[in-house]
């Protein structure tokens, strides 16, 4: 019995010693690993305090912000497509043994004169021109310039064809008009009474449409003529201006300036196909007006995060569908950075002009503006390739 009491006392003493050793190794919150001191013997911190030190007081609630929703484009309520009108641009006078044809240089009625060399009377060039009235004059004998004679029971009919065969523009890939044939007939009665008449050509117009979108949030969209709203239709007539607005959303960024490095037109949404027409390149040089004499160009910049430019509607020469796709490389840089040769928006109109007024940076547009050197810059930059299409270009009907 005495032996059992001694063993019980030894066991209780060992447990007390172990408990004191455990309390000496507990460190207060915030103490460094180099200052490990045991608590005073016999002094223990409450169990609730020890538990609090070993757990988070509340779970983490921070998360990455959701991206901004893309805005729905706003369309004008009363938008209507232009109704093609039939121009009256050709007249003919039949003489006793000759014909005189007058054709306005704006043969298609689109407000743009044609090249005189592209218009012939059955293959014969114009014999004269009225510069003031902008009229081409053709004169031929009844048996000349590819005329064809038909005889009916009451009359002789001489038929001529006024032909417009457009030559390719720029690098030989695009045209902005189409082949046109106007039939002209001179009727002569067998009793030698003379009359003349002009037949209307029968050719169906075809159209050009364009659509757009894309997004840090980059976007490119087609605009109405007053630049106020998104254009609800992508159909254009030859001679119309296709108006584009490129913008970038500022999602928790410093103010940004958007530029367009290049734009390529193709008949399918792939820039590596042919035919292809590079109408904007060299880090922001819009070549179309310089190459073809069009009115294409950038508008003066009013906001750093928006850029507007317009391109005269065109089609590819050997593609009767009139469908094109436009793929542009769009870039955004810090608005505080200076406009330079690799971040610019230059148009050609009696010389190169820059949209924000820094015209001197356009001096390299006729040579090389640095290619990809802008990628080595120190400022943050964002780039995106955006395709707009299909674009279909219609032609005006000709009377």
Per residue in 287-312, pLDDT tens? 999 998 899 999 999 999 999 999 99
Q: Judge contact between 245 and 294, C-beta under 8 A.
A: no
CA 198-203-205 angle, to 5 degrees, is 130
Residues above pLDDT 70, as percent of the chain: 72
Calculate mean pLDDT across residues 65-93. Answer: 77
Mean pLDDT of 152-158: 82
Residue-level pLDDT at 302: 92
Please give the pLDDT value at position 56. Answer: 58
Whether the predicted pLDDT of 325 surpasses 50: yes
Kindly state the average pLDDT of the residues 8-13.
Answer: 58
pLDDT exceeds 80 at position 135: yes
pLDDT at 16: 55
Whether pTM > 0.85 for this model: the answer is no
When pLDDT is cut at 50, 70 and 90, the band that residue 33 belongs to is very low
pLDDT in tens, 193-204: 444 444 444 433
Query: Which of the pair, 242 or 111, is modelled with greater confidence?
Result: 242
Q: pLDDT averaged over the chain?
A: 77
């Amino acid at each position: 019995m005495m032996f059992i009491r001694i063993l019980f006392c030894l066991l209780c003493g060992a447990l007390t010693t172990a408990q004191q050793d455990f309390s000496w190794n507990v460190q207060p919150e915030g103490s460094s690993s180099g200052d490990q001191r045991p608590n005073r013997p016999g002094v223990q911190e409450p169990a609730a305090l020890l538990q609090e030190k070993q757990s988070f007081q509340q779970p983490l609630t921070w998360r990455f912000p959701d991206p901004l929703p893309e805005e729905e484009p706003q369309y004008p309520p009363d938008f209507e497509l232009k109704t093609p009108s039939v121009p009256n641009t050709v007249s003919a006078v039949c003489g006793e043994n000759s014909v005189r044809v007058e054709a306005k240089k704006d043969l298609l009625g689109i407000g743009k004169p044609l090249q005189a060399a592209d218009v012939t009377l059955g293959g014969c060039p114009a014999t004269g021109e009225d510069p003031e009235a902008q009229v081409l004059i053709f004169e031929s004998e009844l048996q000349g310039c590819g005329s064809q004679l038909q005889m009916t029971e009451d009359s002789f009919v001489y038929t001529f064809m006024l032909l417009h065969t457009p030559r390719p523009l720029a690098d030989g890939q695009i045209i902005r008009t189409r082949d046109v044939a106007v039939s002209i007939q001179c009727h002569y009665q067998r009793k030698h009474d003379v009359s003349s008449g002009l037949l209307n050509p029968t050719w169906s117009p075809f159209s050009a449409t364009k659509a757009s979108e894309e997004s840090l949030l980059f976007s490119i969209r087609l605009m109405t003529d007053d630049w106020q709203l998104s254009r609800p239709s992508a159909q254009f007539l030859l001679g119309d201006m296709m108006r584009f607005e490129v913008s970038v959303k500022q999602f928790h960024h410093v103010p940004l300036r958007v530029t367009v490095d290049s734009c390529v037109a193709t008949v399918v949404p792939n820039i590596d196909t042919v035919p292809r027409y590079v109408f904007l390149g060299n880090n922001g040089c819009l070549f179309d007006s310089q190459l073809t004499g069009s009115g294409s160009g950038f508008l003066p910049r009013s906001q750093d995060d928006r850029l507007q430019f317009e391109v005269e509607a065109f089609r590819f020469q050997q593609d009767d569908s009139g469908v094109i796709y436009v793929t542009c490389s769009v870039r955004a840089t810090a608005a505080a950075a200076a406009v330079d040769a690799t971040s610019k928006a230059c148009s050609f109109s009696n010389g190169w002009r820059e949209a924000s007024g820094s015209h001197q940076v356009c001096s390299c547009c006729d040579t090389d503006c640095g290619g990809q050197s802008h990628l080595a810059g120190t400022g943050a930059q964002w780039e995106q390739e955006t395709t707009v299409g299909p674009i279909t270009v219609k032609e005006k009907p000709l009377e």
